[in-house]
Structure 1
Amino acid sequence: MSETKKASDLFVECLEAEGVEYIFGVPGEENLDFLESLSDSSIKLILTRHEQGAGFMAATYGRHTGKTGVFLATLGPGATNMVTAVAYSQLGGMPTLAITGQKPIKKSKQGRFQILDVVAMMEPITKYTHQLHAGDNIPSRVREAFRLAEEEKPGATHLEFPEDIAEEKTDSRPIAASLARRPSAEAKAVRKAVETIENADKPVLVIGAGANRTMTGRMLRQFIEKTGIPFVTTQMGKGVIDERHPLFLGCAALSSGDFCHRAIEDADCVINIGHDVIEKPPFFMSDAFDDPRACSCVVHISTRTAEVDPVYFPQIEVIGDIANAVWQIKEDIVPQGKWDFARMLEYRQAEHEHSKPLAEDTRFPIFPPHLVQQVRDCMPEDGIICLDNGVYKIWFARGYTAYLPNTVLLDNALATMGAGLPSAMMSAMLYPDRKVMAICGDGGFMMNSQEMETAVRLGLNLTVLILRDDAYGMIRWKQANMGFEDFGLTFGNPDFVAYAESYGAQGHRVTSSEHLTDVLDHCRDTPGVHLIDCPVDYSENDQILNHDIKELSAKL
């Protein structure tokens, strides 16, 4: 006869059976049974200072490991504070499970106090959401939540755990995960893709968010080495292939007009690997035959069929496990002597020539291209940078050379501010022997700056580089670019050095371009949590990103 236990104990056992290592969160009184059960488990509770920080940490755990990151909150305001992090993991393809408490559902004496329909709230931004109605149902619902969170495309799931269900007695047991493999692409589709690529004169690879998986990266490297076909990445595809590779053409960080976009326009066949519509399109298709920028043929390789829109309607789709599909194509394809990549590679060389003097500009406040180069020079090959959201993200996506997968963590899906610091904290927890840096604007940093206390309390080793322009710089740049007057986007800041020290971290203030180099090296080599206050100069963003690059690339 099965042992009877509290439902909250069963829930924790189910999480242990799924291999959960951490739960991040801010518990409330509706979570107290669950909290007690957690205290006697192998799972570590990471108490954060805001539910959003917990969610960003869980999502980053999922991004690094492929396993579901779990985070916890109470009902009402705790659940609503989770929403941004849930959407972040859902759009970004990061497997997570959000757990929220709730008042008793069988008998309640508190009316509607703090009660929202959290399941309905989570429905549009998750793959699965469910209120647990009975202890006996916990094993199946937990298994389903993990299965869906990790199934391609990965994303967010949610379970609501009412306090009267948590204290129920049950004799149910966890359900073990089943062995499941993704289906392979159909042979005829693979053959058609091979024929199309072989018949092209100038094929090119575009590597997107869905290709950022370990096995897929390995197969893509083999494909590129065999065929010699050049490649471009989207922002969330950065690092899938070492960007020092001679066939790397650049990252699609701007919407259009950059050197890498011109290289794609030069192609007559785009092999689009792991395309995800959450990212800005790295190229545009057109049904107008006289449009010189239109991609004439697109081969879509993904786990899911293409979502057709006015600028994306691929002619050939190879659907199934991406790594297996790339392997099948690689095994079948014969490199063609007629393929001509010279023009594409000229665009890449022109980008190098354009970028080099910008990276050497040592003005102060720091010029963004020089900042990017300084960070790259400071970080080791396996170092991890975690970008918050701001105009600097474009500079880093374009100019920071990624050597390994998941060493440049940025959000080009929800593109929320406030995720940079929690993402770096999770990276530092998972990889204590690697160097980790959060790169944040002053606006984004202050949205979750309270997690500095969490980082110090956890004894993490990381650097927080704050790029200070005393404004919401991305929007201010666009405001000016669109011809509006400068209004409503500037603010004051605390003394960031004193602010860091108040948490027990070490604060540093950059006073020159040369000083930045010394400070970065010191923080990299000194244990603990470091914060760097670095003034930046965005005054030439529009001239360089919107004018110089597009004008020069158009002339080539």
Structure 2
Amino acid sequence: MSETGAELLVDCLEAEGVEYVFGLPGEELAELMVALEDSSVAFVPVRHEQGAAFMADVWGRLTGEAGVCLSTLGPGATNLLTGVADAHLDKSPLVAITGQGARERLHQESHQRLDVVDMYRAIVEWNTQLDDTAIIAESVRKAFKLAEWEKPGATHLELPEDVAAESVAGEPLPTRQPVARAEPNEGAIDRAVEHLAAADQPLVLAGNGAVRADASERLQAFVEATGVPVVSTYMAKGAVPDSDPHSLMTLDSGPDGQAGGAVAAADCVLAVGYDIAEHDPEGWNPDGQKTVLHLDHEPAEVYEHYNPEVELVADVAAGLRRLTDAVDVSWDTWCRDAHDAVVAAATERPDPEEPFSVRGTLPLLRDAMADDDVLVSDVGSHKMAIAKHYPAYEPNTCIVSNGLASMGIGVPGGVAADLAVDGNVVVATGDGGFLMNAAELNTADRLDASFTVLLFNDDEYGLITEEFEREVGESPGTRLTNPEFVTFAESFGIEARRPETWDDLDATLEAAVDSEELTLVEVPLP
């Protein structure tokens, strides 16, 4: 059957099971937009291309299926870039599609023409220009396969407008089951078990690879069988429920910032799905003396403070299963007190007389949310508090950007999460990150979304202020002035509240989280 290149591309998206394309149209995308309009794929028009990429990013994190974002050429493609890069370093499956001018003008300087394929090369797993209708089906299949392959990431396709309009006879390639990773090497399993058996105080370090591909279930089984305590990176929160007595929450949790002292005391670390882009190993292995065992889909990065004794390069879930079967030693008691201290510090509710704070708000928020509700954290000082002090009870219920760590992901991420999950969604953001993509409140309202934006307002780039004052004793350029946020939200037709007391905030969060309304709750910080 003859159709246009744009129609074939959309047929391929349908074959991949794509539900939403987040984007902003341009004139070079006219053929593609018409094809999307006639398809089962819903196009979500956004207010900024960065918002579209963040939505695709968070959709990919939550579903395991590649989120799709769309922009036109030139400034549209450059605006999309940050969100695509975020997916790249956060290991989130994403397919970006950008329009381009007709091929006849690409050999010379022309209006809005940039070499987008070259520009994206450093931040994607793979990309190409669809410069011939004959390669569309193969290229789309490859883009999704590589985006969703462990470790997942971003891919990119560029569609020139004349290719989009050309007639083509073709059909999508059939999708296949994801390629299974190999079972772990038997010799490596034996060596890992020997090191674990020789350890007095072993520790599991769960990275973001531990919340994908059923790995969290296998990790919980390993912990149950062996009693080895678990500490996670920020993006692995919930890999083992923080209610489990073996959980020490995250690397920086606890009164001393080292998960109750257990991280410093550990003599052997089993790193599961650990990603150096998220957390520098020098922080938990400063002298390089810990025995490190690496279990991941890819070999370990070469790093002075992360030089594993054993590398189990295999399917993470399969590796954990094999280790569970092979280890016959139990360490069930060595850091139980640390768990109790870490959890007690995280769940203590604020004194009614103390001023508002992010840390004081988190126990109230946790009580207002069900175990499977999703918290999307923007980047800022509040993110650090959430990472350290917000308990997570299921994998992928606390979405934190900690690879690229991009400010502005919060509100767009909330839009995607509201579409992707059945439970309630809360976006935690600061005034700095919020205003970077606050226009996506309009997108959320248009989609009849019903999530809660928890906005911490300190009138500054608070995390940068903290870093500057620690390093140089002052904080130039970090102070802000803000609009009246309640009025701002109400101008979008959104419910908004600004509590004045802890009791008021507690009641407001309880009502807002369970509400079917899109709601903004501002927490003014001193």
Gaps of 5+ in 2: none
Q: Report the TM-score, using the length of structure 1 for normalisation.
A: 0.91
How far the C-alpha of 1:356 sits from its partner, in A, is 6.2
1:198 aligns with 2:188: no
**Within 2, Cα distance between the matches of 1:42 and 1:168?**
22
- Which of 338, 341, 344 is the equivalent residue of 1:347? 338
- Distance, in Å, in 1 between the alignment partners of 2:283 and 2:461 is 30
Aligned mates of 2:62, 2:152 — CA distance in 1: 12
Within the candidate set 131, 134, 137, 1:136 is matched to: 134
Tell me how far apart the structure 1 counterparts of residues 246 and 386 of structure 2 sit (CA, whole Å): 20
Deviations 1:76-108 (A, max 9, x none): 000000010000100000011110001101357
2:296 aligns with 302
Equivalent residues of 2:258, 2:264 under 8 A apart: no
Sort the Cα spacing of 1:82 and 1:459 in 2 relative to 1 into closer, same or farther, 3 A.
same
Q: What is the percent sequence identity of the aligned residues?
A: 37
Instruction: Map 1:255-404; keep pairs closer than 5 Å.
Output: 258-260=257-259, 262-281=261-280, 294-336=288-330, 339=331, 341-342=333-334, 344-352=335-343, 359-363=349-353, 365-404=355-394
Q: How does 1:81-480 map to 2 (within 5 A)?
A: 81-106=79-104, 112-179=110-177, 180-253=179-252, 258-260=257-259, 262-281=261-280, 294-336=288-330, 339=331, 341-342=333-334, 344-352=335-343, 359-363=349-353, 365-431=355-421, 433-480=422-469
Equivalents in 2 of 1:69, 1:354: separation in Å?
Answer: 37
Equivalents in 2 of 1:254, 1:401: separation in Å? 10
Q: Secondary structure at the match of 1:524?
A: helix
Q: Which structure 1 residue ranges, 4+ long, deviate > 4 Å from structure 2?
A: 107-111, 254-257, 282-286, 352-357
CA distance in 1, matches of 2:416, 2:195: 43
Question: Does the 8 Å contact 1:134/1:165 carry over to 2?
Answer: yes
Instruction: Give the whole-Å Cα distance in 2 for the aligned partners of 1:225 and 1:535.
Output: 42
Contact 2:264 2:284 (C-alpha < 8 Å) held by counterparts: no
Q: Distance in 1 between matches of 2:429 and 2:450?
A: 17
Cα distance in structure 2, aligned partners of 1:352 and 1:285: 20
The answer (yes or no) to whether the contact 1:364–1:512 under 8 Å persists in 2 is: no
- Structure-2-length-normalised TM-score: 0.96
Between the two proteins, the alignment pairs up a number of residues equal to: 525
**Shift in Å at residue 362 of structure 1?**
3.2
Specify the SS of the correspondent of 2:9.
helix
Does the C-alpha gap of structure 1 residues 108 and 352 become closer, same or farther in structure 2, counting only changes over 3 Å?
closer
Is residue 100–residue 159 contact of structure 1 (8 Å, CA) maintained in 2? Answer: yes
CA distance in 2, matches of 1:5, 1:424: 36
Query: Aligned partner of 2:363: which letter?
Result: Q
Instruction: Kindly provide the amino acid, as one letter, of the partner of residue 351 in structure 2.
Output: D
Is 1:498 aligned to 2:497, yes or no? no
Query: What is the identity, as a one-letter code, of the residue corresponding to 1:186?
Result: N
- CA apart distance, 1:520: 0.8
Question: Of 507, 515, 529, which aligns to 2:518?
Answer: 529
Deviation at 1:142?
0.7
Residues 315-342 of structure 1: per-residue CA shift (max 9 Å, x gap): 1111110000110111122124xx4743
RMSD (Å), alpha carbons: 2.0
Which amino acid is the alignment partner of residue 454 of structure 2?
L
SS at match of 2:103: coil
Residues 265 and 294 in structure 1, CA contact (< 8 A), matched pair in contact too:
no
**What is the letter of the counterpart of residue 319 of structure 1?**
V
Contact 1:421 1:449 in 2 (8 A): yes
Partner residue in 2 for 1:543: none
1:285–1:312 CA contact under 8 A, matched in 2: no
